[in-house]
Structure 1
Amino acid sequence: MSLQPLMDAPWVIQVHAIGAIAAFLLGVVQFTAPKGTLPHRSLGVLWVILMIAVTISSIFIRPALVPGLPITEWFSFIHIFTVLTAYGLIGGMIYLMRGGAHLKKHKGPFTGIFIGGLIIAGMLAFLPGRIMHQVVMGG
């Protein structure tokens, strides 16, 4: 295992990977810690900010790897998670802003983001040929 492939990657990939790892770890804390508390709300804000950074950075990964890539080729199948994550973030935040009876509904979109955007898409990041595969498996 070596972090060198990640350190050698373009900055947008570093932001994406570090943000996703941090959001995953923070998400585990959020699921296990008491709900409705000040720490839950504060860490929730941080989690949303991290997920916004992960979502936006995901758009620019392919052009960072292949400079001059036409915009029509920026996206691959994995970018469906970019769209779903953005949709979930907006939906979850709307529930939180409405407050009251809507407050508990934010769990659905945010759990979906955690499972789809962090666990499933995260596992895809470890496929052969990807930087995180190089980090874990070497070469």
Structure 2
Amino acid sequence: MVAVWIHLVAALWALVFGAVQLLSAKGSRRHRWLGWSWVLAMVVTAVSSFWLSGGLALLGPFSVIHLLSVWTLVCLVISMLAVRRRRLDTHRNFLVGAYLGLVGAGLGTLAPGRLISGWLFGA
């Protein structure tokens, strides 16, 4: 259950502050600081997902959603390399993609039979 809470807190941090990042000015010290905290939250979210299991197992306890976690980690690495090389379009595109993946995964938790759905809707 600890892994669930770590995953949930990190995902909520990434969801809220990812939206703030998308809507705020880019390139400032605040943007960089908040961006690093967002990347850290995304790493924690993705890595902690490997301690969670659910239905639709694909390989052992891992499901299709775990592929999204792997892809998220790849996106984060690519975007960090891109910003260091001043390839800001690549940086932005991979981070927006990672954020949209987080939103999609979050919406997936509302499906019947999922833990969060049960908490929220009693199903």
Same fold, TM-score > 0.5, yes or no: yes
2:90 corresponds in structure 1 to 105
Alignment of 1:1-139 (within 5 A): 10-62=1-53, 72-98=59-85, 100=86, 102-116=87-101, 118-139=102-123
Relative contact order, higher structure (CA 8 A, sep 6+): 1
Larger % of strand: which?
2
- Provide the C-alpha distance between the structure 1 equivalents of 2:34 and 2:89, rounded to a whole number of angstroms: 16
- Provide the C-alpha distance between the structure 2 equivalents of 1:36 and 1:75, rounded to a whole number of angstroms: 37
- Provide the C-alpha distance between the structure 1 equivalents of 2:9 and 2:116, rounded to a whole number of angstroms: 11
Task: In structure 1, list runs of 5 or more residues that go unmatched.
Answer: 1-9, 66-71
Paired-residue identity, %: 31
- Displacement of 1:123: 0.9
- Provide the C-alpha distance between the structure 2 equivalents of 1:97 and 1:21, rounded to a whole number of angstroms: 27
- Displacement of 1:35: 0.7
Aligned length: 119
Please tell me whether the aligned partners of residues 60 and 74 of structure 1 are also in contact (alpha carbons under 8 angstroms).
Answer: no
> Normalising to structure 1: TM-score of the pair?
0.80
CA RMSD of aligned residues (A): 1.4
Could you report, residue by residue, the CA deviation over 1:36-73 in whole angstroms, capped at 9, with x for unpaired residues? 111111000000000010010011112xx8xxxxxx41
> Normalising to structure 2: TM-score of the pair?
0.90
